[in-house]
Amino acid sequence: MSKPAADTTHFGSETVVTREKAGRVRGVFDSVAANYDLMNDLMSGGLHRIWKRFTLARTGLRPGDRALDVACGTGDLTVGLCRQVGADGFVWMTDINAVMLAHGRRRLVNAGLVGSVRALQADAERLPFADHQFNCVTIGFGLRNVTDKAAALASMGRVLKPGGRLLVLEFSKPALKFAKPLYEFHLSRVLPMLGRIVARDADSYRYLAESIRMHPDQKALLQMMTDAGLEDSHYYNLSGGVAALHVGYRY
Q: What is the pLDDT of residues 37-67, one digit of tens each?
A: 877 787 788 899 999 999 999 999 999 999 9
| Number of domains comprising the chain | 1
pLDDT value, residue 12: 62
Q: What is the pTM of this model?
A: 0.88
Give the pLDDT confidence score for residue 16 in this predicted structure. Answer: 67
Residue 194: inside a domain, yes or no?
A: no
Per the domain annotation, does 95 fall within a domain? yes
Residue 1 has pLDDT above 60, yes or no: no
In a domain, 61, yes or no: yes
Q: Tens digits of per-residue pLDDT, 200-211?
A: 777 777 777 788
- Calculate the average pLDDT of the chain: 89
Whether residue 55 is contained in a domain is answered as yes
- Residue 98: give the domain boundaries: 23-175+207-250
pLDDT at 185 over 90: no
Q: How far is residue 163's CA from residue 251's CA, in Å, rounded to a whole number? A: 5
Residue 11 has a pLDDT of 64
Taking every pair of Cα atoms in the chain, the longest distance, rounded to a whole number of angstroms, is 48
Is residue 76 a part of any domain in this protein?
yes
Residue 113 has pLDDT above 60, yes or no: yes
Range name among 24-33, 156-165, 171-180, 184-193 with the lowest pLDDT average: 24-33
How do residues 125-144 score in pLDDT, each as one tens digit? 999 999 999 999 999 999 99
Would you say residue 141 lies in a domain?
A: yes
Q: What is the CATH number of the domain that holds 79?
A: 3.40.50.150
Does 220 map to a domain? yes
| 80/116 Cα distance (integer angstroms) | 12
Return the pLDDT at 250: 97
Q: Is residue 186 part of a domain?
A: no
User: Which whole number is the average pLDDT over 68-94?
Assistant: 97
